Amino acid sequence: MDPITNIIDLAIERRRRGPRFNGEMMQILEVSRDLICLCRAGAITAINGAGARMLGAKTTEELIGRRLAEFLIPEYGQVLELFLAGMASEDRGVPTRIIGLDRALHDIELQVYRAREIGPDATVVTGRDMSKEGKLAGAAQQTDTRFHLLVDNSMNLVCHVVAGSIRYVNKAGIALLGAVEAEQVIGLRLEDILHPDYAPLVDDIAKEGAAVPLRLLHRDGTAFDALVRATVLPATGMGPEMMVEARDITGHNRAVTALRRSNETLEMRVASRTRELAAQRNRAEEMTLVAEASRRFSESLIDTIPSPVWFKDALGRVQTCNRAFRALFGDGELKTLLPLEDTVTDAELLSGACEQAAFEAPILPPVGARVDAMVLKSAYLDEEGRPVGIIGVMTDISDRKAMERELRRLATVDPLTGAFNRRHFLATAATELERAHRYGNPLTVLMLDVDHFKSINDHHGHAVGDQALCLLVDTLRKALRDIDVVGRLGGEEFAVLLPETGMAGALVTAERLRAQVAAARVPLPDGSQTSFTISIGAAAPHGGDCSVELILAKADKALYRAKDSGRNQVCTEVIDPA
């Protein structure tokens, strides 16, 4: 028999029977970077250090006795059956994915060998980590994709020319050549997109290596200026290849031409402007003398005005002011004495948003009492109509504001007790009720009535009755919060609005009010004292469409129940849903 044939037969038989393993083989394979483990009936009996790390274990002892199939993710069920059967091809690896004890995923290529020397159910499994190769392939593909995106989205024309014919053109190139789609350009010769005067220079463009100004053609035949550069690419056997880039410089060339023409007339313009400036200087000198005389007259005239008057420049600095201004503000900074609205209106006037502005503001001068003032301001314009300053005039309206405050107080407050009158109380209650409905906050209304008030007037006189009502309101205010509202609805009938207060809290408050009023004493003309009590009815809204009038009616109903039950007590009434 041929010796070569014997060698081949032996190799085939050795491969059929598989590699030989023994118990000491793991110590030899400890230096391997791949996973190598010995399994009996699918359970790990020995594993090298690289395999332990790949399976997420800190020591090999953590893996002894565990089934290797536990580490395969469920998608690789066929491989799982392979392990259980103890069968696998020894000729090629099986791509799988494992999850280690540290929950890390690894893509590995597994091979399973029968270890007949150790036992009939023994297998040796090797695994090579393929995660890094997969990441490198993905990164290469991502880099190639990004490169194509960069070229396709370039702002300049980029095309690939093979053997003088255009094989690729990017989006910017399609638009620059006036085409609608790439098929209108691909297949054209490079000289087809050049102006006929520049077509003979096709071969020289690549030799130049640098950007060259040329004229290109739109697909409709019109020409435009462009800066073109051709780069020779390595040959691939398809013919000479190069990459051509082009940028439209038509606008740039027009600007250069316009600049050249402007420079030609610059000297003439400079000479003309010099003569104009000389004439303006002469006129300015004449006007300076007139302006100086006018300024002195204006300052004398402004000083006679009884209202403060001032002029501020564009930087907000007071440049001129009259005697009344200096008497009011002294040397103080105007911007620290006027409200923020002064700064806002200054900005509006100087920006040209308006020509005049007015506002009312309280002024606290360094010396003297507060002054309520009306400030009127207007923009000061230069000869070209641009705002360069601000003229301000201030009028003292303290008397008018004091009268307005008094009228406002009389319109909203009961003149005897100082509580809110009926109209203002109802308006405030409507606002609070709407807020309570919007945000879902609690609210309660109390109706109060002085018990046997007529007997107080009859026995002690109306003056004592008025003192009793004033004492009642004073007691209520001291016992209530700042947000609570007290109103006199008429005669000896009062109402209290308790925002942010539910019925439970309102009853506590009502009892406190009742007790404190009962403990209060009204002085009598003879030096003695008298007292009185109140009855209270409480109602809270229920439902989104409850009105102030309905709540007051329910509270009034509860009030009369308190009176009918013996007075000097608190009763409640809850609003039913509408």
pLDDT (tens digit, 0 to 9) for every residue of the chain, 578 residues total? 454 455 445 445 544 555 555 555 666 677 788 899 888 888 888 899 889 998 999 888 988 989 888 888 877 756 656 655 555 555 667 788 888 998 888 888 888 888 777 888 888 888 888 877 666 655 656 656 676 777 778 888 898 888 888 888 888 888 888 898 888 888 888 888 888 888 777 777 767 667 888 889 888 889 899 988 888 888 776 778 888 888 888 888 888 877 778 777 777 777 788 888 888 888 888 888 887 877 777 777 777 888 888 888 888 888 888 888 887 877 656 656 677 788 888 888 888 888 888 888 887 777 777 888 888 899 888 888 889 898 989 888 888 887 877 777 777 899 999 999 999 999 999 999 999 998 989 999 999 999 999 999 999 999 999 999 999 999 999 999 999 999 999 889 999 999 999 999 999 999 999 999 999 999 999 999 999 999 999 999 876 557 899 999 999 999 999 999 999 999 997 555 44
Spatial contact of 63 and 102, defined as CB atoms under 8 Å apart: no
**What is the fold, at CATH topology level, of the domain defined by 305-401?**
Beta-Lactamase (3.30.450)
Using left for φ > 0, alpha for ψ between -120 and 50, and beta otherwise, residue 218 falls in beta
The angle formed by the CA atoms of residues 51, 57 and 58, to the nearest 5 degrees, is: 110
For 153-248, CATH gives: 3.30.450.20
DSSP 366: S
Q: Count of CB atoms within 10 A of residue 386's CB?
A: 12
DSSP 575: P
For 132-166, the pLDDT digits (tens) are: 766 665 565 665 667 677 777 888 889 888 888 88
**What is the fold, at CATH topology level, of the domain defined by 6-135?**
Beta-Lactamase (3.30.450)
Q: How far is residue 552 from each of residues 70, 334, 452, 454, 536, measured CA to CA in Å? A: 76, 51, 22, 23, 12
| pLDDT at residue 577, rounded to an integer | 45
Residues of the chain with CATH 3.30.450.20: 6-135, 153-248, 305-401
| pLDDT at residue 135, rounded to an integer | 66
| pLDDT at residue 524, rounded to an integer | 93
Q: Count of CB atoms within 10 A of residue 463's CB?
A: 11
For 532-568, the pLDDT digits (tens) are: 999 999 999 876 557 899 999 999 999 999 999 999 9
Using left for φ > 0, alpha for ψ between -120 and 50, and beta otherwise, residue 18 falls in left
Walk across the sheet containing 443-450 and list its strands: 485-490, 493-499, 443-450, 534-540, 570-574
| pLDDT at residue 3, rounded to an integer | 47
| pLDDT at residue 507, rounded to an integer | 95
Which CATH class, in words, describes the domain spanning 413-574?
alpha beta
Residues of the chain with CATH 3.30.70.270: 413-574
As beta bridge partners, residue 522 has 530
Tokens of 553: 């009616």
- The C-alpha atoms of residue 571 and residue 562 are separated, in whole angstroms, by 5
- The C-alpha atoms of residue 513 and residue 499 are separated, in whole angstroms, by 16
Q: Full-prediction pTM beyond 0.95?
A: no
Q: What is the H or E stretch that residue 555 is in?
A: helix 548-564
Q: How far is residue 5 from each of residues 16, 17, 124, measured CA to CA in Å? A: 16, 18, 30
DSSP 71: G
Q: How far is residue 458 from each of residues 417, 463, 464, 527, 538, measured CA to CA in Å? A: 20, 11, 10, 18, 29
